[in-house]
Amino acid sequence: MLKVSRLLHPRNQLLHKKLPGECVKGSIWQHAINTFAGFSTVRQNVVADAGKREGRVFAPYSVFKGKAALSAEPRLPTFNRLDSGGVKLNRRGVIMLTFWPSVGERKYDWEKRQLFALSATEVGSLISMGTRDSSEFFHDPSMLSSNAGQVRKSLSIKPNADGSGFFISLSVVNNNLKTNDRFTVPVTTAEFAVMRTAFSFALPHIMGWDRFTNRPSESISQSPSKVVPQLMEAEWDR
C-alpha cells in the first residue's frame, strides 16, 4: 500500500544556525560504526538579551551506513502569548530528518546535508506502516505559485525484498542551482522500530498538545507579535 502526501512548505526565513558536531571529520565520525544510534547530552545555551539560561536538548537518533547517514529529531512548536494571558500555537512542530553523504570509510560530509520536515500527518503515515507497506511524500515550497517545481523534495520509504527492513531515500532537485541530490539509507527492522516508537512518543509534542498540562516558559514569546525562534534550522534553509 502506497501512502502519498503533498504538502506546501513555505521557505522559512529563520536565522540559519548550525547543529553541534559539524566537523564531520572529527574523531566522533572516525570511530562511528556502520550503524550507530547517537544520542547527545543536554547543553545549556545562555540567552544574553533575556539574561537567563535556556536549556536546549540535542538528542537525534542517527543511523550511519555505507553511502549516507540519517538522523531524526523532533522540532517543537512555538507559541504566542495573548493579551488575555493565554497562549496560542504559532508554528507547528515537525520531525526533522537530516541526510548527509559519505565521503569515505566512516566519514560523512555534514556541509552537504539535506533536510526533510515530517508533519504530524506524515508522521502518522510512517508509524502506521506495516512490514510490506511503502510511503512517499512530496514537498515543494512554491507549489501554489508560478515557481512550482523549481525546488522539490521527495522522501520514499520502501520495504526490503526479504522483509529485513526498509530503504529510506531522499531526492532533492533544485532547478535554480542545477543540482540533483539523492540519498539512500537502509535501515533494519530494529532501527525502524526505534524510529516508529520515538515518533509516536513525539507526535503530541510536535502538535503542541503536551502544553495542555505542561507549558514551559522558554517556548512562549512575551507578546502576540514576537516568537522565540526555537527551530535551529528549517527544512528550506537547505
Arithmetic mean of pLDDT, 174-183: 93
Average pLDDT over residues 191-213: 92
- Whether 17 has a pLDDT exceeding 50, the answer reads no
pLDDT band at 5 (very low <50, low <70, confident <90, very high): low
Q: Report pLDDT for 54.
A: 55
- The strand pairing partners of 3, in sequence order, are 135
Instruction: Compute the half-sphere exposure of residue 65: CA atoms within 13 Å on the CB side of its CA.
Output: 17
The per-residue pLDDT for range 64-109, each reduced to its tens digit, is: 999 999 999 999 998 888 888 888 888 889 999 999 999 998 899 9
CA distances to 128, 132, 134, 158, 190 from 2, in Å: 12, 10, 5, 9, 22
Residue given cell 500555537 in the structure block = 89
pLDDT score at 33: 38
Better pLDDT: 109 or 3: 109
The conformation of residue 27, written as its DSSP 8-state character, comes to H
Q: What percent of the chain has pLDDT over 90?
A: 49
Backbone dihedral angles phi then psi of residue 74, each to the nearest 5 degrees:
-80, 145
The answer on pLDDT for 221 being more than 50 is no
Indicate the range of 1-5, 48-52, 122-126, 214-218 predicted with least confidence: 48-52
pLDDT of the residue at 211: 77
Beta bridge pairs of residue 135: 3, 157
Quote the pLDDT of residue 41.
Answer: 32
Strands (E), the chain: 2-8, 42-47, 52-57, 61-64, 68-75, 78-81, 87-91, 94-104, 107-108, 114-118, 134-140, 151-159, 165-174, 179-188
Q: What is the mean pLDDT of residues 112-123?
A: 96
The Cα 56–Cα 62 span in angstroms is 18
- CA–chain centroid gap for 136, Å, is 16
Predicted confidence band of residue 233 (pLDDT cuts 50, 70, 90) = low
Distance CA 140, CA 158 (A): 21
Query: Residue 11 pLDDT > 70, yes or no?
Result: no
Neighbour-count burial of 17, counting CB atoms closer than 10 A to its CB (0-12 exposed, 13-18 middle, 19+ buried): exposed
Q: What is the pLDDT of residue 138?
A: 95
Task: Report whether pLDDT(214) > 90.
Answer: no
pLDDT in tens, 49-64: 333 445 677 889 999 9
For the ranges 32-46, 114-128, 158-172, which has the lowest average pLDDT? Answer: 32-46
Query: Does the pLDDT of residue 137 top 60, yes or no?
Result: yes
pLDDT value, residue 89:
86
Confidence (pLDDT) at 236: 67
Of 68, 95, 91, the C-alpha closest to 171 is 68
User: In the beta sheet, which residues pair with residue 151?
Assistant: 174
